[in-house]
Structure 1
């Protein structure tokens, strides 16, 4: 048990491992776009209903987050988080599901669905509403877990009424990352 914890703590997520690393490393002189890259293990989960400050942070050993922002209102992100154990990663997914179910914001709603990826996965929809009608604006995320790793892909922008097709890009990226996550996770 102690050896497993020490090995998990020693593993990191190398530069160039994430799918968006190459694009984030290219110098961009456009003032309306930017890339941000972080290795902070205490970075907020990139899909975070009601912006809970400690959501899915317990037990993290390594993290890498890349966020692309384009003015006025588009962003996408990629986040890979390694936890001390598979059970800690499962707990992170459980806590995210609870956050989705428990978040109540006037004019903005969260919901989740399931998708077959990794050991477990979910889709998260954040959507602006005017009364009972979807308004323009929202976020779509795919969150997948394999072993002790959590993989998150999001897009936010001028979404309309939620649809399954809203998750196509994020699911494709999650599949690609799942195919290589065992290089750094304890699979």
Structure 2
């Protein structure tokens, strides 16, 4: 009886969704030795990690139903950051809700004033996975785009959410700003069903 229970427990553990080390595109770079004091890689396996594309900066955004996650954030002094995040949800419905919650957050926190400038968010649908979003964050002085912003691609496939973002000295938003993020998201979506339910 004990052996039967142990085998059952091991089977449940083996089938539990996970984002294994080495699965993310940037894992190799993130784990390599970096002696540059002006750059930093941070890797997290916490399912509670904040969504890396988060207009309202809320810890709970898209957190319901998560069963596994892996997040990599690269920071370079003085003002560049990029992130890669893969999150697995219990069901496709929960993953779909996570995308809907992000869309809602873009609307809720579309603009934040700071002194003479505004930081504005916008979102548009893109053709990636089961559903995809291109999220733009940008500093504006009045109606004119200033220097500084964020460009992110978020895509869902089955029970998985993949996010690729770059923040830094962006100028006026352009479609070409999303090229690297789209390329990475497409590559990840090509293999995500090996760990997610699609």
Please confirm whether the aligned pair reaches a TM-score higher than 0.5, indicating the same fold.
yes
What is the TM-score of this pair, normalised by structure 1?
0.95
Partner residue in 1 for 2:178: 167
Which has the higher Rg, Structure 1 or Structure 2? Answer: 2
Residue 8 of structure 1, CA deviation = 10
RMSD: 1.3
1:9 and 1:156 map into 2 onto residues whose CA distance is 36
Residue 9 of structure 1, CA deviation = 7.6
Partner residue in 1 for 2:38: 32
Mapped pair 1:105 → 2:130:
no
Task: Select 2:149's aligned residue among 114, 138, 142.
Answer: 138
Q: Secondary structure at the match of 2:136?
A: strand
Q: Secondary structure at the match of 2:112?
A: coil
Q: Secondary structure at the match of 1:98?
A: helix
Q: Secondary structure at the match of 1:50?
A: coil
Q: Secondary structure at the match of 1:55?
A: coil
Cα separation, partners in 2 of 1:66 and 1:81, compared to 1, 3 Å: same
Deviations along 1:40-64, one digit per CA (max 9) or x if unpaired, are 1010000100202210000000000
Moved over 2 A (4+): 6-9
Is the deviation greater in 97-106 or in 167-176?
97-106
Residue 7 of structure 1, CA deviation = 8.2
2:64 and 2:23 map into 1 onto residues whose CA distance is 23
Cα separation, partners in 2 of 1:125 and 1:178, compared to 1, 3 Å: same
Q: Secondary structure at the match of 2:62?
A: coil
1:94 and 1:171 map into 2 onto residues whose CA distance is 20
Q: How does 1:1-187 map to 2 (within 5 A)?
A: 10-103=16-109, 104-106=111-113, 107-187=118-198
Aligned residues: 182
CA contact 1:9–1:84 (8 Å) conserved in 2: no
1:64 and 1:130 map into 2 onto residues whose CA distance is 36
What is the TM-score of this pair, normalised by structure 2?
0.90
Which ranges in structure 1 are unaligned for 5 or more consecutive residues? 1-5
Q: Secondary structure at the match of 1:18?
A: coil
Which ranges in structure 2 are unaligned for 5 or more consecutive residues? 1-11
